[in-house]
Amino acid sequence: MRIQNKNFNLKQIADSGQCFRMNLISENKYSLIAFDHYIELEQIEEDLIDISCSKKDYDLIWKDYFDLDYDYGRIIDVLTSGSDEFLKAAAAYGSGIRILRQDSFEMLISFIISQNKNIPSIKACIERICETYGKYMVDNTSGTVYYTFPTPDILAEAKKEDLRALKLGYRDEYIIGASRAVIMGDIYLDSLKNHSHEEAVIVLKGIKGIGDKVANCISLFGLHHIEAFPIDVWMKRVLTEYYEDKFDPMNYKGYAGIVQQYMFYYIRHIHGESK
């Protein structure tokens, strides 16, 4: 199915550090596993993308997943016409980034894993977890074998030694604990979507293994609170090198998370597209 949409660039989204199961498979073409689905996407032109799905699935799943009803162009216009030179360049460079509406539990676990790891390593860990605990699936159209992201009940009962064998390091018990918190009803991820970002962060930080940065990532990418503003080592670099630690996300109240993504994507590019 071919769709036309502005501010929609596959490479930028795949390399934006928000999703870990979207991969380049050939030139301008990406595979993506989300929820229980596998799709392939191809960037035909700047605003033109082919998705290997039916119109029904597009309307039901992917239109929402890629946040295609939101006008990112409006944000780009504000930033590129502003006086902040770094943000001008960053917004122009990453104008095809969108904040995906990913599964909240997958984001919870993925960003617990992310701590003190680089992106390739995070992706490798997540694939091992899916292969071990997810459902075996075959995509009808391409014949591709893939594994879904495991459900909370499966991970809640996982053995620490088995997780440790997947090279998760000390994060194994965080994963089990967080999954149990979901199962036990200590935390209702989907209801947190209806709470404020601030409330969501407080609740998330109640889970062992989740600090301020990871909580903000889960809030932004898993709950779609686009006012979240995660600060990792790359963002610290931006804030010190370009803003003398005086950047105030409140200047972009309500959509600071989108601004953050432009900054993150751009600083990594400046520092050599390091992966």
Partner DNA sequence: TGCCAGGAAGCCG
Partner DNA sequence: CGGCTTCATGGC
Residue 26 interacts with DNA (CB under 7 A): yes or no: no
At its nearest, how many Å lie between DNA and the CB of residue 257?
9
CA distances from 28 to 53, 135, 176 (A): 17, 28, 37
Three-state SS at 37? strand
At its nearest, how many Å lie between DNA and the CB of residue 235?
5
Residue 152 interacts with DNA (CB under 7 A): yes or no: no
Residue 16 interacts with DNA (CB under 7 A): yes or no: yes
What number of CA atoms fall less than 13 Å from residue 176's CA on the CB side? 14
- Residue from 211, 248, 250, 251 touching DNA (CB under 7 A): that is 211
Residue with Cβ nearer DNA (1 or 164)? 164
Residues in contact with DNA, shown as a per-residue x/- string from 153 to 172 under the rule CB under 7 A = -----------x--xxxx--
Residue with Cβ nearer DNA (198 or 212)? 212
Among 247, 216, 253, smallest CA distance to 86 is for: 247
Three-state SS at 91? helix
Three-state SS at 188? coil
Among 34, 45, 46, 39, smallest CA distance to 1 is for: 39
Residue with Cβ nearer DNA (3 or 17)? 17
At its nearest, how many Å lie between DNA and the CB of residue 100?
10
Size of the residue set binding DNA (CB under 7 A): 38
